[in-house]
């Protein structure tokens, strides 16, 4: 019965999540505003970041706060963490961004775009690396399996790239001696640094 306790939803603090989202997205907005300020054609001071591009900072902060707060609040109300929370919060965050344009079709369009994008991202595993991976196999075992699965025989590799340049398979020295003798007529005797070698 201990496993059934872990299946229950544990509520989270929506206000804390909203404030955190506001700070993170606001910091990102500040970075974007500073970049826009530095790329200005005229020579402007650093305060222009806040006076001229302050709306950009506020938009980023508001969108981030609305997204995080709504995602956590809807998860708390529904007592589930699934893609529907992302859809709801994505729509409201996109609509918040659309409000800055003061056009109702853009409000709904931005909301729908954010909702679809964030829901698809969450539904596909929340990663840009690709498909789901099984939790049974850790990263080291997965890489070892991939390495063994794609390993090629040394003969095939040598046939493709050839010998030399640091690649010395068994019997390389003998074949090299024969090639040099055929091409230049010189017989090369190997010298060993080992005094016990014959």
- Taking the C-alpha atoms of residue 140 and residue 164, their distance in angstroms, rounded to an integer, is 33
pLDDT at residue number 132 = 56
Helix (H) or strand (E) holding 145: helix 139-149
- Taking the C-alpha atoms of residue 20 and residue 193, their distance in angstroms, rounded to an integer, is 69
pLDDT at residue number 99 = 92
- Taking the C-alpha atoms of residue 172 and residue 193, their distance in angstroms, rounded to an integer, is 19
Average pLDDT per block of 10 residues along the chain, 198 residues long = 60 93 95 91 84 91 95 93 91 93 94 93 76 66 79 74 71 82 79 66
**pTM of full prediction above 0.75:** no
Helix (H, G, I), strand (E, B) or coil at 146: helix
- Taking the C-alpha atoms of residue 72 and residue 156, their distance in angstroms, rounded to an integer, is 56
Which two three-digit tokens encode residue 17? 């999540």
pLDDT at residue number 151 = 76
Which two three-digit tokens encode residue 92? 């409201």
């Amino acid at each position: 019965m201990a496993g059934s306790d872990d299946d229950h939803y544990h509520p989270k603090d929506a206000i804390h999540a909203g404030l955190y989202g506001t700070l993170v997205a606001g910091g990102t907005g500040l970075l974007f505003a500073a970049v826009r300020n530095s790329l200005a054609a005229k020579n402007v001071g650093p305060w222009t970041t806040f006076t001229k591009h302050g709306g950009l900072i506020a938009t980023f902060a508001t969108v981030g706060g609305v997204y995080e707060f709504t995602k956590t609040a809807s998860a708390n109300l529904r007592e589930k963490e699934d893609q529907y929370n992302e859809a709801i919060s994505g729509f409201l965050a996109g609509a918040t961004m659309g409000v800055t344009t003061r056009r109702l079709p853009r409000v709904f369009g931005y909301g729908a775009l954010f909702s679809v994008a964030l829901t698809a991202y969450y539904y596909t595993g929340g990663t840009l690396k690709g498909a789901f991976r099984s939790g049974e196999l850790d990263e080291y075992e997965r890489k070892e399996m991939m390495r063994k699965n794609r390993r090629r025989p040394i003969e095939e590799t040598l046939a493709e790239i050839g010998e030399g340049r640091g690649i010395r398979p068994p019997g390389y020295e003998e074949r090299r001696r024969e090639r040099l003798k055929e091409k230049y007529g010189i017989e090369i005797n190997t010298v060993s640094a080992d005094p016990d070698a014959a």
